[in-house]
Amino acid sequence: QVQLVESGGGLVQAGGSLRLSCAASGDFICIGDMGWYRQSPGKERELVAEITGSGRPSYADSVKGRFTISRDDVKDTVYLQMSSLKPGDTAVYYCYVEPTEWPSCQSGTTWGQGTQVTVSS
């Protein structure tokens, strides 16, 4: 069973930066694509960024040029470096991992517990 633990959330002023971390534990062969969703009151869940097992990133249009996703396969950790933060970035951020297709890996997405990011104006 793959498990995720998030950290790095907090309060920051508009224009500031924050770095989120998401550490995975479990069978490393089961760790495939990883990424971040965010959820705020009154808005639908939004896919913020994703990075494939080979290191290819993708981003939501709302964060392109400001956020950077990366992963450390030695530590089984995915990061989200957030810069030029806006009040609209305020949300609970959830990391996730998609399983690889190895037969021994269970199907289904694994989610982190969420970490609050608050950007003040």
| Contact partners, residue 38, CB within 8 Å, separation at least 6 | 45, 46, 48, 89, 91, 92, 93, 94, 117
3-state SS string for 39-52: ECCCCCCEEEEEEC
pLDDT in tens, 64-119: 999 999 999 888 899 999 999 999 999 999 999 999 999 989 889 999 999 999 99
Q: How far apart are CA 5 and CA 15, in angstroms?
A: 26
Q: Under DSSP, is residue 103 helix (H, G, I), strand (E, B) or coil?
A: coil
Which two structure tokens, joined as six digits, stand for 85?
């933060």
> Which of 46, 34, 35 minimizes the C-alpha distance to 91?
46
- 43-73 pLDDT, tens digit each: 999 999 999 999 999 999 999 999 999 999 8
Report residue 113 CA to chain centroid gap: 11
